[in-house]
Chains A and B, each alone.
Chain A
Amino acid sequence: MLTFGQIGLGLALAATVLAAVLFLFGHLQKGAGKSLSRIGYYLTFAGVAGLTISVVIIAVSFFTKDYSIYYVATQHTTDASSLSWLYKLAGVWAGREGSLLFWTWLMSLFAGYVAWKSAATEDELGNMALMIINAIIALFTVAMIFSEPNNPFVATPAQFLSNGTLVGAAAQWGMSPLLQHWAMILHPPTLFIGYAGLTVPFAFAMSTLIINDSSDRWIKWADRITIFSWLFLGIGIGLGAIWAYVVLGWGGYWAWDPVENASILPWFIGVAMIHSFTMYRRKGGFKRWAIMSTAITFAMVVLGTFITRSGIVQSVHAFAPDNLSLWLFLFIIVGSIVAGAVGLAVRWKEFAGNDAFESLTGREAAYYFNNVLMLVASLVIAYMTVASALPKWLPFGGQSLGAVAYNLIARPVGILYLVLMAVCPVLSWAFTDGATFWKRIKWPLVATLVMFGLLVVEWIVNLRPVYADMVALGGETAKGFTSFGPQVVYDILTLLGFFFASFVICNTVALFVRGVKARMDGRGEGFGTALGSVFFKARSQSGGYLAHIAIGIIVIGLIGSSMYVRDMSSAVQAKVGTTMQVSDYTLTYMGNKETTKSNGDVEEIVHFNVAKGGKEIGEVSPSMTTFAAQGQSRLNAVVLSGPLRDVFVVFQGTSNGTLSMDVKINPLIWFVWIGFILLLVGAGLSAWPKKKAITA
């Protein structure tokens, strides 16, 4: 099996290298190169076949428990439940070596898809895009074959194997139990589909530069794949956050860890890319933006794997460093940006595009500021992420930046971005006069004020008091609040955030209402038909607007669940009836249960009744497992979910009849999850293939 896996990788490397070379010569020889390019297509499929063999072998080995493969031996599931077959499959992408193989395989599938679609015409645009994708796949395959820590096909050392079973220390190898969770099964593949797919727009951008075609043909090729990939990347990020919240037990879902940042970076710059594509398609503008944003997006995609495999930055996700990965992935990052920049410099005039600005009130200006903000935000976060690895004389060089630092920047910049999102869709192309603008926002503004008013009431009653409570605790926890300066700054940020989030939601909903009304009046359609038409006939646009509404909802959730978390640790007497008070929640101790398992592990469960304002709302039973032989413990947190806030309870142990409890009140966190789902629906609608392009 090991040998076949290696052969698969070898085949993939040979095929992709040769394909890239043949496409290149095919291009250089103009018409005479047709036959070379044709072989390139066959080789592209051969590359897909090689990587598919490797992936299938790894997957089969997990199912047949073939522990002669070191990767399988270290990542096999130890779970015995009905889900264990899923965890077996998940082994393919659970570890360092397998995830790289899985990602490369997905890229080859995208390459295969492009080749299949382009084979009919064999035109230069497709050929050159395939050259680029094949070259990238070849580089990734090199990273697997020539760097042992990345190679999934390494034999398990003989001393750990006896008759096909793992012995000695190896007997307990396996996937971390923390990873054996449904969200963790789906998180990596969705993320990697996104990563892999974002290679495609980059390849087509480079291709169109090579063949000097500044028409929107390449956009039409890459558009859907781009939104599809961006959507999957988003799903991946969201699932990671849900997993962190439910399993890791620290009560949060986003910590600005370098690897988390690395996943959000291509997503941010991807927003600029998608909007540039829209301008390219509809107005023939933003051509240089579109090209360059594909290159930066791709570089950001690789940054994550560079960080985890090079060991340059401390992260909870980091693997043991290896030098080949460091230089190879650094080369891909720098190479893609240089390729974009140099290519654009050479074709500067050809890609001038229709970028005439009439006025700041035109929609073009909003698109432009969207790009500037997303680009700057991505570059700043990327810089901060790697700052600790940079020399000391650079700003923040050698310094480590915590969540406080990111929040200080993200919150005000996020609000600026909301303003843009709120007004952009109501602007006309080129120029919007004041009267039209006012007419368009008048009613949405009324709705906004109502929504904002409700949020303010909630804020005054439940959120704002948290500030004083948390600051009173002092220490590092208070720093997250006081680092913004006087409380009034924090208040203003919150209110601006709530206002513009409401404005985004109402303004965008109004667009749908207007669209439906126009159809009902103009074409005499019924309400349902009109609504259906608005949603499905102009999918790109309506999907985009749904995504805007979703972002507005998410921001409301973020303000609550990241800025106003009430966190209280306290010692509670282990006497039935003892209460602890957190905000207006009362937790009453109801008793405990201690069970000792046959292997000596002890699980201690404590039961609490939870009441809010005197009314009982539920029960929580957090627990702590102590592993006897290892002397380690695991805390099993419990979340009591409500529409406006979650109660998150952790039990940290007992001493001398006192329970150590940690309770967090996470307000509005459900807005984050609901907004996230709506975002998926919107992006999914946009990515849905259509027979012919229709724009409203």
Chain B
Amino acid sequence: MSSAATLQAIIAIAGKDLLVERRTKTAFLSSIVFAILVLTILYFARDKTAVGDLDLAPGALWVTFTFAGMLGLNRAFVLERENRAMDGVRLTPATPTAIFLGKVVGNLVFVGTVELVSLPVFILFYDVPIWRELPLLMLVIALATAGFVSVGTLFAAMVVRTRFSEVMLPVLMLPFLFPPVVAAVQLTRGILALRPLSEYSGWLSLLAGFVIIFFTFSLFLFEAILEE
């Protein structure tokens, strides 16, 4: 398959996933509602005199992003299970790499949109200086989301044929997400506290390393998972 055909397949798969989601809206609405609920509950559950905004905000942001995103990742392969649509895709010349990348792009747009919609709610509840280092914060969000989506896409493909895929996905995924989410929380804390980058650049390297490893690992394993 030529690189132009691979690109066409990636765009077709991502576009189809987003079109199906636009039609049904089930995963998007549930992810948004979940994100708003988590941010609201965490805000009202704390004792403001004991826990400051800067202490709670990084954890609240990443708990919200991680679990809201997870709701959407499962959907990516559930729609392939209906009518065994993935068999139809596998009968085309689209390579497993193109299928994986198409799914990753579709999931990145989905999770990115959920994050973009949740971010204003986060800003509304937590009095943190988000605008001062916004580009750096966006870089951290983009990196952590890329790692999260890569591994999430792989695991979603793995569990979709199991009976309780909605339960299995977080159970399998969370141990793998621990390092990048911890790195993302530490980085967010440093950014929001306006600390110099040199203080937390180690976490940035760790996060970038995890993203590269997760992405490569997922890309190579996906072909084996596609096969029954």
Q: Do the two chains belong together in a single complex?
A: no
A residues touching B (Cβ–Cβ < 8 Å)? none
